[in-house]
Amino acid sequence: MISSDYKLKKVLFRRKTSLEIISILLQLIPTGYVTTYKALAKVLNTNPRYVGYLVKENKNPIIVPCHRVIKSDGSLGGYTLNRRSLPEFKERLLRVEGVEVVNGRVPKNYIIDDIDSLIKNL
């Protein structure tokens, strides 16, 4: 039987590895574009909500541009900075980077759905 200590270590390792992968993927998204929680989840073979959790854990906002991740319907989703919810700041950052936001949504031409293509072009 596998000990609960082993299971906990395995979960913590997976979380740490997932955070590292998300950080790398976020840095691949070019300025002026966004991607979705769903697209990132596809790469990690996980749930978009888990990706949201990982993105929220980002300790280096701006350097690791978590503000470039939106919902698959084009809406912005949340944004937390220093444990404060600041969705309007997320919109401001995207606009500064050249992303158009219309009625709280990003038009499709700014959304990168195929993360694999970013990875292949490295």
Residues carrying an active site annotation: 66
Residue 34's DSSP bridge partners are 111
Are 44 and 51 in contact, with CB atoms under 8 Å apart?
yes
Structure tokens at 59: 């300790």
- Which H or E run contains 111? strand 111-112
Local structure of 52: helix, strand or coil: helix
Q: How far apart are CA 117 and CA 80, in angstroms?
A: 28
